[in-house]
Structure 1
C-alpha cells in the first residue's frame, strides 16, 4: 500500500462555517467490527463503516486470512467469518499502510493462531515502536522477530494453544489492551489485562456484544478486564457511530471562526472518547447535545457547535486517555483562546503517526503562535479570539491529524496556510475537504 504522491495545498480563511454534516464512521469501532465479524461463525453486516485507508488495510488483511468481506452499492459491508481459531495462513506479507491500529490489533489476533504473518507498512508506520505489543504477546507464546527498535517490518509466528496471562499495562494504551484481549479469544483459560488508567473501551463492549465472556471489574489496581478464551462469536448487525476524533475538527473550527453554527450528526460520545468535549466546554465552547441516544451499545448524539469566546485553561491530566488523538486540534483551539493553555499529560503523542508534540509546535510557530514545548505536551499563548498571523508552511509528516488540525487553524488566519502534503487525510477522513467546502459555502 504505497503512500500517494504528496499533495501540496494552500488553505485560506473562512468567513464562517454553517450547516449540517455527518462525519465518517468511528475508526476504532470500524477496525474492531471487521475483526470480530471475521472471527464469528456466519454473516455479519456493518453499516457506516469508515472507508479510509487504515480500515481498508484491516479488511484486506482479514481477506488474506480467509474471511469473505464485501461491500454493496448502498455502502453496507457483509463479513462471513471463519470462526475463532479459523484464520488461515496469508500467502503474502500483510501491508498495513499507515495504520498502527490495524498492526497492533491484528498482531493480537494472529498471536494465538497456528500461522505466521509478516507485517509491513509505510515509512511513518515503520518508524513507530511495536515493543509495547511484542512484550505481552511474546509472554503468551508468540514468536516475534522485529526490525531494530521493535519496528516494522516484523514476522509473527502464532502459538496455538497460547498461554493465558495477567498483564498490567505500563502505559495507557487501548491498542495494547485490545491486542492482548484479542489474543485471549483463542487462548484456553482466562486472560486478564489490568489498566491503572482507563482507556477507550470499544473492544470490551464489542467483544461482549459478539458473545465473548468478558468481565470488567474496578479494583484498587485499576480496571481489570478478563476474557475467557476459546469463545464462539455470534454474527452481528452493527451500525458504526460517527467518529468523535473526526468530529473534533469541526467542533474546534466552529468554535474559533466567528459567525459559525454547525451541527455534526451521529457523533459517538463514549465516555472514554469524549475528553475533548469536556476540555472545550471548560474553555467556554458552546456545544449542545441534540437527540442523545444509544446505538449498538454506544452513546450517540448530534452536536450543535456555535462560535464562542474561548479561555485558556490547564487541561486536567486525567482527560488525556479520553482525548489522546484530539490533542493536535486542542492545541489549535488553544491558539485562539484568551490567555495561556497548558495541555500536558500526553506522552503518548510522541509515538503516534508522527511526534505530534514536536510537529504541532513547529506548525503553530511557523504560523505566528507562541508555543512552549514540554516532554508531554504544549503550553500555548492564545490570541483571545483574533486571527493568528498564518502565512507559514506546515510539514504534515505523513500524519493525517496534523494536516487536518492545521487546516482548522487556517480557517481563522490573516494569511493562508500551506500544507506540504494533504494526502494523509485519506487514511481516516476522505471527505474532509469536501465537507469543509460545504460548510464554508464554497461547494460546487
Structure 2
C-alpha cells in the first residue's frame, strides 16, 4: 500500500485518536487472567492488539469484539489451556514479552513466535530474570531470539535490578511475580511507563511503589471489571507535530491519556516553543486523561536525554521531524533502545529524513539534527515500521511537492484510519 501526502495549508479541527495501544494490550491480558467478565471500551483494533486477543483465544479464553468494544470472559490464572498451536504475536513486542511472563506461571508448554521483525528483537532481557524465578525457557542463541519455548511451573519471587528502563521487562517480571512464591520487585534506572502497575491496581491487586522500584506479592487474584481506554498519546504525537509543522494551525485532541510516564512529548514540544494546553483533566481506571489544545508556534532546537527518554521513546521519530524544521540544533542522547524497535529507528529516521533534505547525523545513542531545513517531497519507505511511516507522512505536510510512502500498511499496527484522519484535518 502506498500513501500520498501533499503540502498542507492548515491543520485544524476537533478529533479523537485511537485507543492507547499499551493499555489495550494489558486490558485483554489481565481480563483473561481475571475472575469474571471484563468489558473494554475504546480498545485499539490495531494489528498488534489483535495478536494479543488471538493468543489468548488459542489458550481457550472467550473474547468477543465489536469494533472498539471488547468483552473478555476471564478464566483465572489457572484456567488457561495448553495451546495446540504456536502462539503468533505478529509484530508485537509487547505481546511476546508480557506473554512470556504470563506463560512462565502456567503448568504447560507453549511456543511464542512472531514476524521477521520480532525474530530480530532481543528477548534475553526478559528471559534472564524469568529463568532466575525458575521458569524453563529456551530459544535461539540461548533464548536471545524467538521462537521461545516455555515450560511453565512453580516460580519464586526475585528482587531484580533492570539495566534498562523498559516497561515490557518490568511488566513481564511483575506478571510472573503475581503467581510466584513470596515478593517480586523490579528496580529501574529511570521510571518506565507504568500502565501495568496502574491496571493491576484497577483489577484489585496490591502494588507497592517506592521511587523507581515496584513490588507485588504472589497469590493475588484479579477481578474482572470495566476498562475505558483513553486515546493513545503516541498517536496524538503525530497530530501535535502536524500542527507544529504547518503555520496557522490549531487542533483539539479529545480524551488523550496523559500518564506522566508517557507524556514526554508534551514537555519536548513546549521546550521547543510549541503551545500545548492540557484541559479537562480526570482519572479513568487509575489513568490520567485530558483534552489537548494545540496551536502552531515557531519551534527551536533542544536537547533530549536522560530520564526524559523512556517517557517519549516511541515519539522520537516524529520529534526528529519537528526538529528538522525548527531553528537551531536538536540533540537526542541516551536513546540506544531505538536500535531494537521494529527497525533500527536511529538509522531509519536519519536515512528517510535525509530524502526530504533534512540534515540528520546518527550517533550511537541518538542523533543530531540541524534545523531550518526547507523540506522537499520525497519517495519514502516505512521499512515496515508504523511510526516511521507516520512520522514521514507528517514531514510530507511541510514539504514542497508530493511525498509517497511505500509499505504504508504498517501504520495499521497502531493507528488504523490514520490517512483518513489526516485528510479530515488538513486544508
Alignment of 1:46-125 (within 5 A): 46-72=40-66, 75-125=68-118
Aligned residue pairs, count: 426
Partner SS for 1:92: coil
3-state SS of paired residue (2:155) = coil
**CA–CA distance in 2 between the matches of 1:257 and 1:118?**
48
Distance in 1 of aligned mates of 2:71 and 2:419 = 28
Partner of 2:35: 41
After TM superposition, list the pairs within 5 Å mapping 1:359-370 onto structure 2: 359-370=348-359
- Please state whether the residue corresponding to 1:154 is helix, strand or coil: strand
Q: Does residue 373 in structure 1 map to residue 362 in structure 2?
A: yes
Contact 1:40 1:232 in 2 (8 A): yes
Unaligned runs of 5+ in 2: none
Residues 18-49 of structure 1: per-residue CA shift (max 9 Å, x gap): 11110011111111111111111111111001
Matched residue of 1:413: which SS?
coil
CA distance in 2, matches of 1:213, 1:30: 21
Contact 1:361 1:372 (C-alpha < 8 Å) held by counterparts: yes
Distance 1:438 1:24 in 2: 15
Structure 1 match to 2:257: 268
Question: What is residue 4 of structure 1 aligned with on the other side?
Answer: none
Alignment pair present for 1:355 and 2:344: yes
Q: Which residue of 2 aligns with 1:420?
A: 406
Distance between the aligned counterparts of 2:312 and 2:335, measured in 1? 9
Q: Distance in 2 between matches of 1:157 and 1:241?
A: 35
Question: Take 1:198 and 1:72, find their aligned partners in 2: how far apart are those partners?
Answer: 35
How far does residue 328 in structure 1 lie from its aligned partner after superposition? 0.6
| Cα deviation, residue 200, structure 1 | 0.5
1:387, CA displacement in angstroms? Answer: 4.1
- After TM superposition, the structure 1 stretch with the greater mean CA deviation from structure 2, 324-333 or 150-159, is 150-159
2:295 counterpart of 1:306: yes
Map of 1:198 onto structure 2? 191
- Conserved in 1, the CA contact under 8 Å of 2:305 and 2:335? no
Where do residues 173-192 of structure 1 align in structure 2 (5 Å cutoff)?
A: 173-192=166-185
Q: Deviations over 1:266-314 (max 9, x none)?
A: 1100000000100110000011112122212111111111111001111
56-65 or 142-151, which moves further after superposition? Answer: 142-151
Cα separation, 2, equivalents of 1:349 and 1:432: 23
**Structure 2 residue aligned with 1:249:** 238
Alpha-carbon distance in structure 1 between the residues aligned to 2:159 and 2:64: 37
Scaled by the length of structure 2, what TM-score is found? 0.97
User: How far does residue 213 in structure 1 lie from its aligned partner after superposition?
Assistant: 2.1
Distance 1:134 1:398 in 2: 26
Distance 1:119 1:131 in 2: 14
Q: 1:365-402, CA deviations, whole angstroms, 9 ceiling, x for partnerless residues?
A: 1110011111111111111xx74123x22232210000
**Structure 1 Cα separation of the partners of residues 171 and 52 of structure 2:** 15
Please give the residue correspondences for 1:326-345 in structure 2 after superposition, counting only pairs within 5 Å. 326-345=315-334
* Root mean square deviation of aligned Cα: 1.3
2:284 is aligned, of 295, 300, 305, to 295
Query: Equivalents in 1 of 2:213, 2:278: separation in Å?
Result: 31
Deviation at 1:348, TM superposition (A): 0.5
Q: Give TM-score, length-normalised by structure 1.
A: 0.94
How far apart are the structure 2 equivalents of 1:172 and 1:181?
14
Partner Cα distance (2:100, 2:79) in 1: 15
- The residue number in structure 1 matching 2:119 is 126
Q: Which residue number in structure 1 is paired with residue 148 of structure 2? A: 154
Equivalent residue in structure 2 for 1:389, among 366, 376, 393: 376
How many Å apart are 1:206 and its aligned residue? 0.8
Q: CA separation in 2, counterparts of 1:317 and 1:387?
A: 30
Q: Per the alignment, in what secondary structure is the counterpart of residue 32 of structure 1?
A: helix
Name which of structure 1's ranges 25-34 and 141-150 shifts more when overlaid on structure 2. Answer: 141-150
Deviation at 1:140, TM superposition (A): 1.3
Relative to structure 2, which stretch is displaced further, 428-437 or 80-89?
80-89
Is the contact made by 1:84 and 1:230 (CA closer than 8 Å) also made in structure 2? no
Distance 1:72 1:440 in 2: 30
Instruction: Tell me which of 159, 165, 182 is aligned to 1:172.
Output: 165
**Partner SS state of residue 279, structure 2:** strand
Give unmatched runs, 5+ long, in structure 1: 1-6
